[in-house]
Amino acid sequence: MSDISHIHEFLLCPTPQAWVDWALANESVLLIDHANCEKKAAASAMNLMYRYVDKTDLLKKMSQLAREELLHFEQVVALMEEKGVEYIHLPPSRYASSLRQHMRNHEPAKLIDTLIVGAFVEARSCERFAAIAPKLDAKIGRFYTSLLRSESRHFMDYLALAQLYDGTDLAERIAFFAEKEAELITSPDQEFRFHSGVPE
């Protein structure tokens, strides 16, 4: 398994065991919401490409990221089909929208916060893949382990772009979002999702 120690250092808390148990009891929902997350990640990358056409480094990184996320989406859907899991509509979790509520609305701060939030989404995804991969059936476990490298790279790309376009020390802003992210991960949630908190 890939070394993701830098991910654990970035996040304030590990995924609680209660979420892992919840995931194992809801494998179909896990796969469906995972597919949704891959679609949303690709859409977010494309949105950044449309909004910031003057930023060449961002265009290159987000183009690559969008392609990879769509490939992952295709792979999850194929796995669902193989396992007989119907792709149904699921309302999203509170996770990403709750983090975005704290983003600043003026530029370039809005871009910086968007990139920092993107880094947290990718970091938590990577950490959760690693947490549950050994406990799932062999095929899903291998697939989730195979995603660790790309998710880790996406996390680092988002952070690198935030630093590139800000040019200052982002530690305070990252620490702010780290606290908000940890609260969402450790607090009670009503419905299981890939980025949900713990069961009520």
The pLDDT tens digits of the residues spanning 47-58 come to: 999 999 999 999
Is 9 a member of any domain?
A: no
In total, how many domains does the chain have? Answer: 1
Q: What domain range includes position 72?
A: 18-187
pLDDT band at 167 (very low <50, low <70, confident <90, very high): confident
Tokens of 69: 């996320």
Tokens of 95: 């996770």
Is 199 a member of any domain?
A: no
Is 12 a member of any domain?
A: no
Is 121 a member of any domain?
A: yes
- The confidence score (pLDDT) of residue 4 equals 93
- The confidence score (pLDDT) of residue 2 equals 72
Mean pLDDT of 134-148: 94
Is 48 a member of any domain?
A: yes
Helix, strand or coil, per DSSP, at residue 196: coil
CATH of the domain at 45: 1.20.1260.10
Tokens of 88: 């149904």
Is 108 a member of any domain?
A: yes
Is 162 a member of any domain?
A: yes
Residue with tokens 């908190």: 197
User: Using an 8 Å Cβ cutoff, are 110 and 165 in contact?
Assistant: no
Mean pLDDT of the chain: 96
pTM of the model: 0.96
Q: How far apart are CA 72 and CA 127, in angstroms?
A: 17
Q: How far apart are CA 189 and CA 171, in angstroms?
A: 29
pLDDT band at 1 (very low <50, low <70, confident <90, very high): low
Is 73 a member of any domain?
A: yes
